[in-house]
Amino acid sequence: MSEKPAVLGGKPAFENVVPIAKPPLKAIIDRTLLDYKKILESRMITNFEFVRKLEEATANYIGVKHCLATASCTSTLMLTIKALSIKDGDALIPSFTFPATAHAIHWNNLQIRLVDCHPQTFNMNVEDLQEKVTKKSRIVVPVHVFGNPCDTKMIEEVAEDNGLKVIYDAAHAFGAKHDDVPVGRFGDAEVFSGSPTKAFTTVEGGIVATNNAEIAEKVEIGRNYGHHGNYNCEMPGLSARMSELHAALGLNLLPHVASDVEKRNHVARRYMQGLGKLPGIRFQVITANSKSTYKDFGILIDKEKFGLDRDQFAACLQKENIMTRKYFYPPIHMQKCYPELNTGDSALPNTSFVSTNVLCLPMFSELIEEQIMGIVEAVSKIQGHAEEIRSALQPQKP
């Protein structure tokens, strides 16, 4: 391999940076601008006509009785857990997740009990979940990591056997399916994110999907400070209403979700075809009988076989103008705000391994073939020059 990677002085793979994500907005701009004009002229800009339409449309799409829209996935998760009226006890969550999962537990004054991830799917390890359940356990909050559906049957069997509530952090998974059932129908409720990196976005916002009328009612008043509109609060709520502008954009994107998820799956297949033969690269395994949204495309780097560690590899891709993310690093048990949860890597060995070796490549539905192959070729070039790169990155002796 004669041409050198950019980190060794070669020409970068891309002249302009390939972003880690790009929301698929091109097809809906004109329609959305018309809706924005209507909203602004009406002066009704928060939690009104378009929010109600979005809630009805997403409930029909998923096949549940209730969907409620809020300002963010984090506030939705906070309110959904609050709706269960759990007074004390432990909440079982994965350490391999975005910090918001833990924050929602903390804000509900429950104790966080961490569960290891599965080394292949990256989702909650059900065997470890079984071992971590105690008499203090009240709720389990699994995460569909990168849009890969959890083993819902096994998780809910553990929950039923131990009298636990189940709220799924489905931030990544709107449009995913497990056993041909849309994610959103499992557990007591599932909570989605509408932030810009997701397959379905409202730019910012969150949605809870549930068949439980009590949960739906409490989230509905909880997002409005805790009252029904009479300012006499029935619960300590939040200011967490979704704006009409966010809802209108989401409504226009909803018909495109299935095709965007298909496109993301195509990108994932092309990555795996192009990178699968390289030494030291392993891919997330999708749960059996499932369709992932591939919110992220994470690869595991085996330092010994690949020739570089994850951080060195990320630095090389940055030189090629390829954006990456180290999701999720640090994991919950290494977050500065939760020192009491840091019991060492040995307590959560899979999480510690995955979080220090996973790197997410650009993933979005509008990623074109030229970009995919450019990324594949850049990775191949870097791996082919791994020894030379490693030597160049060594600190120079004085």
pLDDT reading at 395 higher than 80: no
* Residues 388, 301 within the same domain: yes
* Residues 18, 30 within the same domain: no
* Residues 216, 309 within the same domain: no
Q: Considering the chain, what percentage of its residues have pLDDT values greater than 70?
A: 98
* Residues 306, 167 within the same domain: no
Question: Residue-wise over 186-209: b if at least 16 C-beta within 10 A, else e?
Answer: bbbbbbbbbbebbbbbbeebbbbb
Residue 1 lies in a domain: no
Residue 173 lies in a domain: yes
Rounded average pLDDT over 173-198: 98
With cut-offs at 50, 70 and 90, classify the pLDDT of residue 238. very high
* Residues 239, 290 within the same domain: no
Question: Tell me, what's the pLDDT at 1?
Answer: 45
d(CA 44, CA 26): 26
* Residues 384, 359 within the same domain: yes
CA-closest candidate to residue 14, choices 375, 395, 343: 375
With cut-offs at 50, 70 and 90, classify the pLDDT of residue 343. confident
pLDDT tens-digit profile of 147-175?
999 999 999 999 999 999 999 999 999 99
pLDDT reading at 397 higher than 60: no
The overall average pLDDT reported for the chain is 97
List CB contacts of 110: < 8 A, sequence separation 6 or more. Answer: 81, 86, 88, 89, 90, 91, 138, 139
Single residue among 254, 275, 303 that ends a domain in this structure: 254
User: Which CATH number does the domain housing residue 180 bear?
Assistant: 3.40.640.10
With cut-offs at 50, 70 and 90, classify the pLDDT of residue 2. low
Question: Tell me, what's the pLDDT at 344?
Answer: 84
Rounded to 10°, the helix 386-393/310-319 angle is 100
d(CA 7, CA 19): 19
* Residues 243, 373 within the same domain: no
* Residues 81, 187 within the same domain: yes
Single residue among 254, 269, 304 that ends a domain in this structure: 254
Single residue among 254, 279, 305 that ends a domain in this structure: 254
d(CA 71, CA 205): 4
Q: What is the residue-wise DSSP string for 10-66?
A: ---S-SS-B-S-----GGGHHHHHHHHHHHHHHT--BSSHHHHHHHHHHHHHHT-SE
Residues of the domain holding 228: 26-254
Residue 398 lies in a domain: no
* Residues 74, 145 within the same domain: yes
pLDDT tens-digit profile of 345-365?
899 999 999 999 999 999 999
Question: Tell me, what's the pLDDT at 393?
Answer: 85
pLDDT tens-digit profile of 38-92?
999 999 999 999 999 999 999 999 999 999 999 999 999 999 999 999 999 999 9
pLDDT tens-digit profile of 260-312?
999 999 999 999 999 999 999 999 999 999 999 999 999 999 999 999 999 99
pLDDT reading at 398 higher than 80: no
Residue 336 lies in a domain: yes
pLDDT reading at 141 higher than 70: yes
CA-closest candidate to residue 183, choices 220, 142, 125, 218: 142
Rounded average pLDDT over 24-31: 95
User: Which CATH number does the domain housing residue 280 bear?
Assistant: 3.90.1150.10
Contact of 125 with 118, CB cutoff 8 Å = yes
> In total, how many domains does the chain have?
2
With cut-offs at 50, 70 and 90, classify the pLDDT of residue 32. very high
